[in-house]
Each structure stands twice: as structure tokens, then as C-alpha cells.
Amino acid sequence: MDKLNLPRILIGGLVAGLIINIGESILNIGILAGDWEAAYAVLGMPMTESVGMMIWYFASGFILGITGLVLYAVYRPSCGAGPKTAVWAGLTIWFLTYFMGFSAVFFSGLFPMNLFWWTELWGIVEISLAVLAGAALYKD
């Protein structure tokens, strides 16, 4: 495998992470805010997040973006450079984090399934577009 261009991975990953964080904010604060409030109310919990939790949410968006770019750089030698490889890297991140990470919580009945489906479908598009945008900045 060729040497990875770490500065380009970082730059592209931060761009991807920014897109992920904007997308997550639009989805969870804008579109699904009422649904999340209702779900938390059923559990008897307030819908307030601590500063530490908000920092973690935003940090994890950047971590996902950087990880997506690492995968893109690793996939490039065998799959070729370009949008198809970037989308595959994004789908890998989506599957391992969004689908595998959220499935148990939702299938347990803890939260309503409509939140699961919104999160999953939004995530497929969001992560794919984010890694695609970040990959456009990556050069060997």
C-alpha cells in the first residue's frame, strides 16, 4: 500500500466531519426535536444535554469524518480513486456506526422506530456525502 497523505486525510476528514455535524444538527435539533422530546418524556428524562455531551457529539462527527477519509485512502489502491470509492468508505462508516451502533438501542424498544429509520436513512446520505466531499480534497 502506498503511504497515506495524513495532512490531506486530516483536511478532508475535518470537512467531512463538519458536514456530518451540520447534518446531525439539522436532523436532531430541527427536524426531529419534538420526536426526541416525546421519546425522552416517555422515559421520564429531560431533553437537555450537558456541555460535555454536546462536545462529545461534535467531536464524534469529526472523528467519523477523519475515519471515513482514512478508509477512503486505504480503499484507493485496490478500488481506485473517485466518488464510488468515497461512497463505499462512507457506507462502511455508516454500517459500523449508525446501523450497528443504533440498532440494539432501537430494537430494544427504548426509542420509537420512526427515530431509528430517520436516523438510518439520513445517516446513509449524510455520511456518503460527507466522505465524498472530503475525498475530493484528498490527493496521494
Mean pLDDT of 47-56: 87
| Contact between 106 and 113 (Cβ < 8 Å) | yes
DSSP sequence for 96-133: IIIIHHHHHHHHTTSS-HHHHHHHHHHHHHHHHHHHHH
Decide if pLDDT at 1 tops 60.
Answer: no
Mean pLDDT of 76-80: 94
Residues 6+ apart with CB under 8 A from 57: 21, 24, 49
What whole-number distance in Å separates Cα of residue 66 and Cα of residue 98?
A: 16
Mean pLDDT of 77-95: 96
Decide if pLDDT at 2 tops 80.
Answer: no
Q: What is the pLDDT of residues 115-129, one digit of tens each?
A: 999 999 999 999 999
Q: Which of 13-17, 36-40, 121-125 has the lowest mean pLDDT?
A: 36-40
Q: How many residues does the chain have?
A: 140
Mean pLDDT of 94-116: 90
Which of these, 97, 94, 117, lies nearest to 106 by C-alpha position? 117
pLDDT of the residue at 46: 84
| Contact between 137 and 12 (Cβ < 8 Å) | yes
Assign 105 a pLDDT band (cuts: 50, 70, 90): confident
Mean pLDDT of 4-32: 96
Decide if pLDDT at 62 tops 70.
Answer: yes
pTM, full prediction: 0.92
